[in-house]
Amino acid sequence: MPFHALKLSAALVRAATDQGFTLPTAIQQQAIPAILAGHDVRGCAPTGSGKTAAYVLPLLQRLQGQPVTRPRRPAVLVLVPTRELATQVGDVLHLLGQHLPHAPKIAVAFGGVSINPQLMHLRGGADVLVATPGRLLDLLDHNALQLQWLRTLVLDEADRLLDLGFAEELARVLAQLPAQRQNLFFSATFAPAVQALAQTLLHDPVCIDIAAPDTVAPLTVQRTIAVDAVRRTMLLRQMIKDNGWSRVLVFVATKYATELVAEKLYRAGIFATAFHGDLSQGARTQVLQEFKDERWEVVVTTDLAARGLDIAQLPVVVNYDLPRASTDYVHRIGRTGRAGAPGLAISFVSADTESHMRLIERRQKMELAREIIPGYEPTQTAPMDHASVPGTGGIKGKRPSKKDKLRAAAARTP
């Protein structure tokens, strides 16, 4: 099915083609007509499947049919959990909308940088605002914009925005929005509890499930390697050199570990650097761009880089530390094997984390054989309870918590 069969304008079809989109993906085939028809949508599809374009293209088309006001009033709000994803979505909007007869004004706002340039950019308003929740609330506190005319709310990485970390901010944002609006929720995973909350905020939605939640792209080869925790860095260094990997994204549990592991690799002659939330926005942007340009061989990061980042042709992802939740496992290894390209995801498993990995496997409905690399045979065999493993925090449980109250508050908000 070509893009023009989805009733997109010739300008948008041409823009999609210019960006290398030859045929619409499965999520785009189903989401674009539903959004054009004005339906609420809950879209769940694997990472790298084109979810951003699935909502950007029809929203740009709908904006073409709306009268331009002075000052411009935001008609579309895209909420994202990270600064990097905000920039990425803004870039997609600009690229796909730049040749439209009436190109919309797009504003991108996120924290970690001065608010003043963002306030200046919003003078005269905007048609589309892409923002992180905290910075959006800052803008509202500064009376930089009003949202009562908003027609469409998009939650990109919706499961994270509906989770504990953003629930309170999201409830405050929802209170500022008109009750009558189109809601579009997209993510690669929707845990049952998050999916239930999403349903309370959606109105008779079109639910699109391209693949079952918590699954991994089929072209991504997954390997688990048994190794003592103290020898992980040596093994990682050896594998990078033996396999000639040009770019590797390595996930660890803490910001401190990103610096420590990156420094050890760098001293061993591997161009490695750290990427975490304590870096300035300028430094974070520079690291990502240099990694995409293959100026760094290895970036060692926390789960900050697990969602939304699109690094083309990233060949290898390594779980140096296992993720806390099984959905985080999906998002981490989803950085490789994107857009139909093959990928490799490796997880280091020590005696202390064996039970943790087995639980992830059970929730992923998979079973991976433990490999042993000659010269790095594990010597520790006594397993520990996964909840006591330092740095991992264990798999998230289901006991009542503050999250339930925050979700309930969000659900009550019109």
Q: What is the DSSP letter of 194?
A: H
Res 386 pLDDT > 50: no
pLDDT (tens digit per residue) in 54-77: 999 999 999 987 777 777 889 999
Give domain limits for the chain. 3-209, 220-388
pLDDT (tens digit per residue) in 358-379: 999 998 888 999 999 999 999 9
Mean pLDDT lowest for which of 87-96, 224-233, 303-312, 323-332?
A: 303-312
pLDDT band at 384 (very low <50, low <70, confident <90, very high): very low
CB neighbours (10 Å) of residue 168?
Answer: 15
Helix (H) or strand (E) holding 348, with range, is strand 343-349
pLDDT (tens digit per residue) in 140-199: 999 999 899 999 999 999 988 988 778 889 999 999 999 999 999 999 888 787 888 888
Res 391 pLDDT > 60: no
For residue 216, what pLDDT is reported?
54
Write the CB contacts of 229 (distance below 8 Å, at least 6 apart in sequence). Answer: 350, 352, 353, 380
For residue 387, what pLDDT is reported?
44
Q: What is the DSSP letter of 72?
A: B
pLDDT (tens digit per residue) in 7-50: 999 999 999 998 888 889 999 999 999 999 999 999 998 777 88
Please state, for a pLDDT cut of 90, what percent of the chain lies above it: 59
For residue 305, what pLDDT is reported?
81
pLDDT band at 335 (very low <50, low <70, confident <90, very high): confident
Res 2 pLDDT > 70: yes
- pTM of this structure: 0.71
pLDDT band at 392 (very low <50, low <70, confident <90, very high): very low
Res 398 pLDDT > 50: no
Fold of 220-388: Rossmann fold (3.40.50)
pLDDT (tens digit per residue) in 198-232: 888 999 999 999 865 445 555 689 999 999 999 99
Distance CA 303, CA 393 (A): 13
Helix (H) or strand (E) holding 111, with range, is none
Out of 24-33, 95-104, 196-205, 278-287, the most confident range is 24-33
Name the phi and psi angles at 41, rounded to 5: -135, 135
Res 412 pLDDT > 60: no
**Architecture label for domain 3-209:** 3-Layer(aba) Sandwich (3.40)
Intrachain domains 3-209 and 220-388 with the same fold: yes
Q: Which two tokens stand for residue 143?
A: 């009376």
Per-residue b or e along 378-393, where b marks 16 or more CB atoms closer than 10 Å to that residue's CB: beeeeebebeebeebe
Per-residue b or e along 126-140, where b marks 16 or more CB atoms closer than 10 Å to that residue's CB: bbbbbbbbebbbbbe
Average pLDDT along the chain:
87
- Backbone φ/ψ region at 294: left (φ over 0), alpha (ψ -120 to 50), beta: left
Helix (H) or strand (E) holding 213, with range, is none
